[in-house]
Amino acid sequence: MAGKVFFSVSMSLDGFIAPESVPVEDFSAPEKQDDPQVQRWMAQWMELQQWIFPQRFFRENLKLGEGGEEGRDNDIARDTFERTGASVMGKRMFDLGEQAWPEEAPFHTPVFVVTNEKRDPWERPGGTTFHFVNDGIEPALDQAREAAGDRDVRIAGGGATILEYVNAGLIDEFSIALSPVLFGSGIRLFEGVDAGRVVLEPVRAEPTQRVTHLTYAVRER
């Protein structure tokens, strides 16, 4: 049986999934480390994702060390990982991750990067191979479905790529970890959504001490 297509992101209470963009090369340039824009980006990102960093599963998966919290936030992080048989992501998310992920990238499955850039597959230790797909979101999803088998396909991000899949009617379900932070500006999750096309059905709402996890099924209007 084919799996579902879903996304799962952390979002600020005012609707942003990332701070205002900073050129990706600035994150690694030594002379930019004290740049206020870079520092602000990092601080906002840490606040947005503050719920997941202490979780045991997250720490193990990124090899950050032993221990960590084991409550409902941890279960959700683990379940999201375990249901995922392949991921799809946009090139800007990939570019940031290429700098930030450890050598053993945290997916441990095939990842399909939608991009205009031509590039050979990039295999990492631990089972993650990044494939670069140049012919759009549907071929990327077809390849991800094939690779995922009976497991689900996660549209990992970022905002532009998730929006393309939502507007194409290709998302079955999504989850948002609603973080208690306000950004004021940045990358808005649903900027440009085809609202006339999409109907949401609430599936679950689970508050924890750190965030509120919201899950919706997506139906066509």
Ligand X SMILES: NC(=O)c1ccc[n+]([C@@H]2O[C@H](COP(=O)([O-])OP(=O)(O)OC[C@H]3O[C@@H](n4cnc5c(N)ncnc54)[C@H](OP(=O)(O)O)[C@@H]3O)[C@@H](O)[C@H]2O)c1
Angle among Cα 195, 207, 13 to the nearest 5 degrees reads 45
Under rule CB under 6 A, residue 9 binds ligand X: yes
Under rule CB under 6 A, residue 144 binds ligand X: no
Let me know how long the chain is.
221
Q: Could you tell me which residues come within 8 angstroms of residue 70 by beta carbon, excluding any fewer than 6 positions away?
A: 55, 56
Cβ neighbours, 10 Å, residue 66 = 7
Stretch near ligand X under the rule CB under 6 A, chosen from 73-81, 109-117, 191-199, 206-214: 109-117
Under rule CB under 6 A, residue 183 binds ligand X: no
| Least distance in angstroms from the C-beta of 94 to ligand X | 7
Task: Among 76, 86, 88, 96, indicate the residue that binds ligand X (CB under 6 A).
Answer: 96
Binding residues for ligand X, rule CB under 6 A, total 25
Under rule CB under 6 A, residue 90 binds ligand X: yes
Long-range CB pairs of 42-48 (<8 Å, 24+ gap) are: 44/19, 44/181, 44/183, 44/186, 45/18, 45/19, 47/179, 47/181, 48/10, 48/11, 48/12, 48/16, 48/17, 48/18, 48/19, 48/179, 48/181, 48/183
Name residue 155's amino acid: I
Tokens coding 4: 């579902």
Under rule CB under 6 A, residue 218 binds ligand X: no
Task: Among 3, 85, 110, 158, indicate the residue that binds ligand X (CB under 6 A).
Answer: 158
Site for ligand X in 123-142 (CB under 6 A): 136-137
Stretch near ligand X under the rule CB under 6 A, chosen from 30-38, 78-86, 152-160, 208-216: 152-160
Question: What is the contact mask toward ligand X in residues 43 to 82, using x (rule: CB under 6 A)?
Answer: -----x----------------------------------
Tokens coding 84: 């995922």
What is residue 181's three-state secondary structure?
Answer: coil
Q: Which residues bind ligand X (CB under 6 A)?
A: 9-10, 17-18, 48, 89-93, 96, 114-117, 136-137, 156-161, 164, 187
